């Protein structure tokens, strides 16, 4: 199950932010290498990646869906590259406004990137567990969604580990 | 007469040898060459907790963990 509303929220916030801004501050290059493969922190064969979606919802960035080999878990990483840090923060604020779609959601700040937040809960129909990690890093806004069986939520340590690796990858990309 | 003396001397010598041999045997038998091994004290039954699958831990997983293909792939996960 995908939480489309969150991506839409980011896109909407980003769209509003883009008015009056250009893309000059966004780094050129191939965004497809930005998402961190979760196999780096698993047994290295657990997930297969779908082809990355470049500029999802018309926004500069990338989205990649990783599916567990048993088909019961997905990790969706979305990195939007916005004009500046303010736009990135605004995009995350917009995304969080859409988090009400997660039933019984519990939100907590986490030490990942800037303004890192982790939301855990259930999908609106209660069929799946959902964990959403969101954070900004410079001019990027990142969300990582973990969806699994209702009784098999993503472990917090896994969420944080992947989030921190993603944050590091973004910083390295920005510094390059 | 000379033959009688000779015979007595031989008998005396043989008796002495036999007595010496007996003493030597007695000395030898005083050492117990059979080593006695203390039987091992039986160790009490070891208590090993069952894991959540009712076994004692597959793939080296400890009690309370079991082997499955989880978020991190194959590994030991808490029950």
Give the ipTM of the model, two decimals please.
Answer: 0.80
Q: Which residues from B are below 8 Å from A when comparing CB atoms?
A: 69-75
Percentage of chain A exceeding pLDDT 90? 65
Residues in A closer than 8 angstroms to B71, CB to CB, are: 42, 46, 68, 73, 146, 148, 152, 154-155, 158
pLDDT of residue B5: 54
Greater model confidence, A118 or B61: A118
Residue of B nearest to A148 (CA): B71
The partner residues of A141 in beta bridges, in order of sequence, read A80, A136
What pLDDT does A24 receive? 37
Query: Which chain A residues are Cβ-neighbours of B52 within 8 angstroms?
Result: none
Choose among A41, A70, A148: nearest Cβ to B72.
Answer: A41
Determine contact, residues B69/A148, Cβ cutoff 8 Å. Answer: no
Distances (CA, A) of A34 to A1, A119, B22, B28: 23, 22, 98, 89
- The pLDDT score that the predictor gives to residue A52 is 96
Instruction: Say yes or no for a CB contact (<8 Å) between B72 and A43.
Output: yes
Cα-Cα-Cα-Cα dihedral sign, residues A34, A40, A42, A48: positive
For residue A19, the model assigns a pLDDT of 38
- Confidence (pLDDT) at A82: 94
Return the residue in A155, A157, A165 with the most chain B beta carbons within 10 A, the one to mutate for interface testing: A155
Region of poorest pLDDT, from A67-81, A128-142, A145-159, B31-45: B31-45
CB contact (8 A) between residue A45 and residue B72: no
Superfamily of domain A4-175: PknH-like extracellular domain (3.40.1000.70)
* Res A92: pLDDT: 86
What are A144-167's pLDDT values in tens digits? 999 999 999 999 999 999 999 999
User: How many other CB atoms are found less than 10 A from the CB of residue A125?
Assistant: 9
Model pTM score: 0.69
- pLDDT tens, B30-65? 455 666 777 676 666 665 555 666 566 667 787 778
Q: Which residue has the higher pLDDT, B59 or A17?
A: B59
Q: Of A19-28, A30-39, A132-141, B29-38, where does mean pLDDT reach its minimum?
A: A19-28
Chain A interface test: which of B59, B71, B76, B78 (most A C-beta within 10 Å): B71
CB contact under 8 A, B73 and A43: yes
pLDDT at B11: 52
Ramachandran sector of residue B54 (left: φ over 0; alpha: ψ -120 to 50; beta: rest): left
In B, which residues are within 8 Å of A68 by CB distance?
69, 71
Statement: residue A99 has pLDDT above 70:
no
Query: For B68, which residue in chain A has the nearest alpha carbon?
Result: A70
Residue with tokens 């039933």: A103
Say what the pLDDT of residue B23 is. 46
Residues 6+ apart with CB under 8 A from B32: none
d(CA A22, CA A3): 28
Of all residues in chain B, the one with the smallest CA distance to A154 is B71
Which tokens belong to B61?
């997983």
Give the list of residues 6+ apart from residue B74 with CB closer than 8 angstroms, or none. A43, A46, B67, B68
Q: CA B70 to CA B77: how far, in whole Å?
A: 8
Beta strands in A24-166 (DSSP E): 47-49, 53-54, 61-68, 74-81, 103-109, 114-122, 128-137, 140-149
Closest alpha carbon within chain A to B74: A43
Average pLDDT over residues A131-151: 96
């Amino acid at each position: 199950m995908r939480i489309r509303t969150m991506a839409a929220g980011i896109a909407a916030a980003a769209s509003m932010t883009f008015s009056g801004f250009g893309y000059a501050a966004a780094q050129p290059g191939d965004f497809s290498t930005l998402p961190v493969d979760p196999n780096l922190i698993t047994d290295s064969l657990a997930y297969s990646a779908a082809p990355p979606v470049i500029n999802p919802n018309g926004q500069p960035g990338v989205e990649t869906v990783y599916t567990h080999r048993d088909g019961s878990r997905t990790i969706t990483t979305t990195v939007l590259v916005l004009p500046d840090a303010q736009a990135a923060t605004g995009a995350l604020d917009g995304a969080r406004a859409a988090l009400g779609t997660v039933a019984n959601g519990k939100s907590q700040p986490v030490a990942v990137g800037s303004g890192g937040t982790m939301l855990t809960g259930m999908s609106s129909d209660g069929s799946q567990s959902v964990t959403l990690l969101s954070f900004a890093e410079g001019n990027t806004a990142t969300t990582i969604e973990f969806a699994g069986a209702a009784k098999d939520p993503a472990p917090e340590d896994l969420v944080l580990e992947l989030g921190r690796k993603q944050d590091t990858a973004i910083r390295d990309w920005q510094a390059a | 007469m000379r033959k009688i003396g000779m015979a007595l001397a031989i008998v005396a010598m043989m008796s002495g040898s036999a007595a010496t041999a007996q003493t030597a045997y007695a000395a030898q038998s005083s050492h117990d060459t059979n080593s006695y091994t203390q039987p091992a004290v039986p160790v009490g039954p070891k208590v090993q907790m069952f894991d959540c699958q009712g076994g004692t831990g597959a793939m080296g997983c400890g009690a309370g963990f079991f082997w499955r293909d989880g978020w991190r792939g194959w590994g030991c996960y808490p029950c």
